[in-house]
Amino acid sequence: MNRLPHFQPRHGLLMNARSLAISAFTVLGLATAMPSSAADGDDKAVLAPVQAFFDGMAKYDSAAIRATVQPEGSVALLRKGKVVRMTLGEFADHMKPAKDRIEERMYDPLVRVDGDIAFVWASYDFLVNGQVKHCGTDAVNLVRIDGHWLIAGIADNSRDTCPAR
């Protein structure tokens, strides 16, 4: 094998240089692949009004729902091939006390944030009196105004064949 002399340093020095280079690239790769605590904080801040919205629904509390939304924002509920549309304010006003216990549970939310806009995509189950009534996917758009995340729009689909969770 014909090697150039300057590429034949002492074996130990070469191994240390290679190890250092591999370690540096590994650390840099992990640093870019792992979410930062700032990103985790953004995710939590974005998810907070979405969860508060669902909590308001569970309590039939239109004021609690309104506190999480831009009232002029849109709702699009896909039900059996039809789209039911209303504003978020109309949706909040629609929540009147009832006998049934309702709960919407989100699973594995995907959160994307770019400056003052955010998007949440999550599977959900909707329960009535503890039983799954339907399930689907929630798509939630949010905007940050004066440092607070508000829901600007919600769309969801719905199906009756739901996986056990």
Rounded to whole angstroms, the Cα distance separating 5 from 12 reads 16
Q: Specify the pLDDT at position 38.
A: 54
Phi, psi of 97 (to 5 degrees): -50, 140
Mean pLDDT value across the chain: 84
Q: Which of 34-43, 50-59, 104-113, 118-127 is predicted with the least confidence, judged by mean pLDDT?
A: 34-43
165 vs 84: which has the higher pLDDT: 84
Q: Which of 96, 94, 98, 60 is nearest to 77 (CA)?
A: 94
Query: How do residues 3-46 score in pLDDT, each as one tens digit?
Result: 444 434 444 444 444 443 433 333 334 333 434 445 678 999 99
Q: Specify the pLDDT at position 40.
A: 77
Burial 136-152 (b: 16+ CB within 10 A, else e): bebbbbbbbeeeebbbb
Distances (CA, A) of 75 to 84, 88, 100, 141: 8, 6, 22, 10
147 vs 22: which has the higher pLDDT: 147
Collapsed DSSP state (helix, strand, coil) of residue 98: coil
What are the domain boundaries of the chain? 1-34, 37-156
pTM, whole model, 2 decimals? Answer: 0.75
Q: Which of 5, 105, 123 is nearest to 55 (CA)?
A: 105
| For residues 111-138, average pLDDT | 98
- Host H or E run for residue 113: strand 102-114
Assess whether pLDDT exceeds 50 at residue 93.
yes
Q: Specify the pLDDT at position 44.
A: 96
Level-2 CATH architecture, domain 37-156 = Roll (3.10)
Assess whether pLDDT exceeds 90 at residue 73.
yes
75: confidence class by pLDDT, cuts 50, 70, 90: very high
Q: What is the DSSP string of 29-86?
A: HHHHHSPPHHHHHHHHHHHHHHHHHHHHHHTT-HHHHHTTEEEEEEEEEEETTEEEEE
